[in-house]
Structure 1
């Protein structure tokens, strides 16, 4: 489409779209006539999800039963995953 020119098809398409959207959004009634139920409960924030803004970042993951691992008897090497030594003593 060239600058300064408006095609008839574009205007017709815009008018059809405008007519189609007129009835899509009904007008809301006056806000003062809305029936608002009284607040019957108090919102209490979860302290476990509170972010500590200072220091090292902490995880906010909520763990469940699937995330709990069983206790292991000894430490394993971080490189080879074998028991009895650590990363610095790995053969």
Structure 2
């Protein structure tokens, strides 16, 4: 799993042949998650993403999930240790 826009000065570049979901809200807001090969259901279910800048710091995870099929966005649900 790769998140784009996480390194200082790193552009959020979309690579040809890849599918991305924009992360909305929370500590990873505005970054892109490479969801190439994910099913529509997997995008709706979302993912727990490692986020050292979330509520629980190092080792914590941020929960992102979809709301509508085909929107290309994952919305922050909260953080977990």
Do these two structures clear the TM 0.5 threshold for a shared fold by scoring above it? no
Structure having the larger proportion of residues in strand:
2
> Which band: TM-score by shorter chain?
under 0.3
Structure with greater helix percent: 1
Q: TM-score, normalised by structure 1?
A: 0.14
Q: Which has the larger radius of gyration?
A: 1
